[in-house]
Structure 1
Amino acid sequence: MNELSLLMTLATVHLVALASPGPDFALVVQNASRHGRRIGLAIALGISLAILLHSVFALTGVSLLIQQHPHLPALFRLAGGGYLLYLGIDALRSVYASWNADRRGQPAKSVEELTSVRAAMTKGFTTNLLNPKALVFFLSLLTSLVPISMSLSGKLVAIAILWGLSFAWFALLAWLLTGARMQQRVRKAAPAIDGVCGVLFVVIGSGIVLATFA
């Protein structure tokens, strides 16, 4: 199989993975619906930069070294699971705060008002970087589809494809969710979105932590 075919296969597999709902998808939906387009795009950029780093780590052998270390994989899973638990609990606290404010007839406020682009980028970057499934996915994807014999230009194109598709996908998602008409609808549904995303984060995070100890 020539390099062009390998790169097309890589792009297709990555697109399928991006379309599958997970922590990154939930994070963009939750924050774009609540905080608007600028924050949604910043989170999309943060996620894509973490994917860029995962790709570089996988192709340079850093990810393989992490996986082969006797303690690093467990520590990485605990950190990732713990961070997802934090995001989930924070989202559920936001739902409770909104419900409590409505019950008292007061303006609803989020537990965490995300207004800084830098903070949004950091949140997206951290969520993806600490996701242990992302580490394993990119290591498996790139070691199976990018042979050692591939040219340096081919490897650079592979990294560019993974980063570009990631940013384009999550930026498009943030853009669509923050159109004028759509924004009116999603703002009304913000507590429900927070609740669904919170439960998703808690389930995934606690599952990772429990599996690590088990």
Structure 2
Amino acid sequence: MTNEYQILLTLASIHWIALMSPGPDFALVIQNATRYGRTTGIYIALGLSFGILIHSILSLTGISLIVHTHPVWFALIQIAGGSYLAWLGLSTLNSLYQRRKVRHQPETQPPASLCLDNHKQAFSKGFLTNLLNPKALVFFISLMSSLIPADFSASGKMLALVILWGLSFFWFAILAWLLSGQRLQNKLQAAAVYIDGLCGVIFSVLGLMIGYHAFTSLT
């Protein structure tokens, strides 16, 4: 049991470091917490954490490994994930361009295609962004296969899932909370256009790179 606790501690440490690394999830929280405030940012965080939970379950049960070892299946997942990220990025950039063309539109009004009408939409956006990220699939396969032995207890596996989900939600929720403080929010709103533009570029470049890699792997 002591050995299992050590494994779980190592798992939590590696996952925590990975969470703090900049990526699509990080950018999504920054963009939406800046634009729409604390509650929307927390629902984005909840969606991201459930995406991570699904990846963790699939990796722990070996399903993700099966997909990863079939090049065509994995390439199709990469294409789907890359397309979604590219769509997020390009729609953001297009909305910013359209808003710039309409000179009389107030600067504080967000682009129409970026609006999150409700909490369900915010959750879905976070969930899909993480779930369709093929890099997350590879990361959790590597993490689980290298740390979790075949004879790991069922209670240990359940605890691992709770830790991975809990740390994910905690980190992204704290990030959304900090970014949506009133004083910081006033400053970030002035730079919201630039934040949207940067996030749009990040999503577009990552999505196109993932899609290109997937297409080349099939040829």
RMSD: 1.2
Say whether 1:62 aligns with 2:63: yes
CA distance in 2 between counterparts of 1:77 and 1:96 reads 28
CA contact (8 A) 1:45 1:124 kept: yes
Structure 1: stretches of 5+ with no match in the other structure: none
Q: After the TM superposition, which residues 34-113 of structure 1 pair with which residues of structure 2 at under 5 Å, given as runs? A: 34-101=35-102, 104-107=103-106, 108-112=109-113, 113=115
Match of 1:205 in 2: 207
Match of 1:162 in 2: 164
Match of 2:188 in 1: 186
Q: Normalising by structure 1, what TM-score?
A: 0.95
CA contact (8 A) 1:82 1:205 kept: yes
Superposition deviation, residue 109 in structure 1: 3.8
Match of 2:135 in 1: 133
CA distance in 2 between counterparts of 1:68 and 1:168 reads 32
Count how many residue pairs are aligned between Structure 1 and Structure 2.
212
CA distance in 2 between counterparts of 1:111 and 1:87 reads 13
Superposition deviation, residue 99 in structure 1: 2.6
Cα 1:170–1:204 shift into 2, 3 Å: same
Cα 1:98–1:186 shift into 2, 3 Å: farther
CA contact (8 A) 1:84 1:201 kept: yes
CA contact (8 A) 2:85 2:129 kept: yes
Match of 2:116 in 1: 114
Superposition deviation, residue 94 in structure 1: 2.8
Superposition deviation, residue 98 in structure 1: 3.6
CA distance in 2 between counterparts of 1:145 and 1:205 reads 29
Superposition deviation, residue 47 in structure 1: 0.4
CA contact (8 A) 2:24 2:129 kept: yes
CA contact (8 A) 1:39 1:115 kept: no
CA distance in 2 between counterparts of 1:109 and 1:32 reads 13
CA distance in 2 between counterparts of 1:202 and 1:88 reads 4
Superposition deviation, residue 70 in structure 1: 4.1
CA distance in 1 between counterparts of 2:26 and 2:95 reads 19
Task: Encode CA deviations 1:30-79: one digit per residue, 9 max, x unaligned.
Answer: 01100111111111000000100100101111101111234210100000
Superposition deviation, residue 105 in structure 1: 3.0
Task: Encode CA deviations 1:96-141: one digit per residue, 9 max, x unaligned.
Answer: 234333xx23224413211310011000000000000000100110
Identity within the alignment, %: 54
Superposition deviation, residue 186 in structure 1: 1.0
Structure 2: stretches of 5+ with no match in the other structure: none
CA distance in 2 between counterparts of 1:106 and 1:127 reads 29
CA contact (8 A) 2:49 2:165 kept: yes
